[in-house]
Structure 1
């Protein structure tokens, strides 16, 4: 029995549709992954910058935020805000990212660092 002419090439169309679907799913996973990496990057840079600023907050409070800005720039993010209150450093960082079909968005990270509240004698007891 001869094949019907109306079915010729339909497997090609289904194959192309499946490849398009798989490509869209792969792009979605790639986008989500890159956003997660950027989120970790901006938060880690905020943590490191706050620790660096808190370290200098006691001895050189005027240069603490300059050190935090330098460390943030070395990590590829922008230092948006840095305040030193007593011995506590409060830092906010930002990172602009471009997403397909969404455009440019800015991720922010915030961290605080300073001395612990417990004294060394309390730790040993």
Structure 2
């Protein structure tokens, strides 16, 4: 190693590892920046997964409400004040709100709304239940 003019051997050796004396502590700033970016990405991923989980939960509540209402429309379930009333009570039991209920003979379509816990975004789902289109239309109780 060559010695700089006007410096002692110890100073030349100490400054040989650094390119610029103003870089002191820059690794700490970069490390903190990386940790902050990772924390922000983790928070975004958590919020996204909770929204997806809420969407699945609301869709399940819509399916259950539509199936119960279709059973009531077909006369398989008695009491409860009709298909839409039964759908509303099932929606409440699943912690969602029944937004609409449409009964067309034995086919029932419901729309329910919930909200994602972290984001507070409204999540809507709809479901239709009833006999398959190829099945003969019957009203009243089954056999």
TM-score band (shorter)? 0.7 to 0.9
In the TM superposition, what is the alpha-carbon distance from 1:113 to its structure 2 partner?
0.4
- Structure (1/2) with the larger strand percentage: 1
Aligned pairs (5 A) from 1:35-46: 35-46=51-62
Secondary structure, aligned partner of 1:2 = helix
Aligned pairs (5 A) from 1:82-101: 82-97=101-116
Of residues 8, 11, 14, the one that matches 1:2 is 14
Instruction: Give 1 or 2 for the bigger CA radius of gyration.
Output: 2
RMSD: 2.1
Distance in 2 (CA, whole Å) between partners of 1:82 and 1:97 is 22
**Which residue of the partner structure matches residue 38 of structure 2?**
22
Which TM-score applies when normalising by structure 1? 0.81
In the TM superposition, what is the alpha-carbon distance from 1:23 to its structure 2 partner?
0.7
**Which residue of the partner structure matches residue 76 of structure 1?**
95
Q: Structure 2: where are the runs of 5+ without partners?
A: 1-12, 137-143
In the TM superposition, what is the alpha-carbon distance from 1:98 to its structure 2 partner?
5.7
Q: Structure 1: where are the runs of 5+ without partners?
A: 121-125
**Which residue of the partner structure matches residue 56 of structure 1?**
72
Distance in 2 (CA, whole Å) between partners of 1:112 and 1:35 is 23
Distance in 2 (CA, whole Å) between partners of 1:58 and 1:119 is 13
- Structure (1/2) with the larger helix percentage: 1
In the TM superposition, what is the alpha-carbon distance from 1:71 to its structure 2 partner?
1.1
In the TM superposition, what is the alpha-carbon distance from 1:119 to its structure 2 partner?
4.6
Secondary structure, aligned partner of 1:80 = strand
In the TM superposition, what is the alpha-carbon distance from 1:112 to its structure 2 partner?
0.6
In the TM superposition, what is the alpha-carbon distance from 1:118 to its structure 2 partner?
3.9
* Deviation digits for residues 29-61 of structure 1 (CA, Å, limit 9, x no counterpart): 111111111111111111110001001112259
Tell me the matched-pair count. Answer: 117
Of residues 61, 84, 107, the one that matches 1:65 is 84
